[in-house]
Amino acid sequence: DAKTTQPTSMDCAEGRAANLPCNHSTISGNEYVYWYRQIHSQGPQYIIHGLKNNETNEMASLIITEDRKSSTLILPHATLRDTAVYYCIVRPFDAGNNRKLIWGLGTSLAVNP
């Protein structure tokens, strides 16, 4: 599986957009980009995933560059409850791969009042 690189930590003001970058320069054609987050003392929570097109759901937007070597997770109006560690993971979309997810240390996002 391709590995990802994320900044260790970021800050964001409440109400502003939080843009979390992720580099995945070795991503291959059949690998999706997944984002999860982990609020303190809880289990990870799925946010969004995409292959090459930009995606949006009720939680966030995912922007993937045309060469697919990087992506950005956007929380459009961050709230204090969005303070969490955000994990960017790439994985092939076929069997056996939930076991092979490589969970790095993610980005610790602090949303400040």
Partner 1 sequence: NAGVMQNPRHLVRRRGQEARLRCSPMKGHSHVYWYRQLPEEGLKFMVYLQKENIIDESGMPKERFSAEFPKEGPSILRIQQVVRGDSAAYFCASSPNTEREKLFFGSGTQLSVL
38's CB contacts (< 8 A; 6+ apart) are: 44, 45, 84, 85, 87, 106
- Residue 2 in contact with partner 1, rule: CB under 8 A: no
67's CB contacts (< 8 A; 6+ apart) are: none
- From 19-27, 37-45, 51-59, 62-70, give the range in contact with partner 1 by CB under 8 A: 37-45
Instruction: Give residue for tokens 């996002």.
Output: 109
Dist CA 100 CA 18 (whole Å): 28
- Residue 46 in contact with partner 1, rule: CB under 8 A: yes
> Of residues 45, 64, 69, 77, which one binds partner 1 by CB under 8 A?
45
- Residue 95 in contact with partner 1, rule: CB under 8 A: yes
Q: Which residues bind partner 1 (CB under 8 A)?
A: 34, 36, 41-46, 49, 87, 93-106
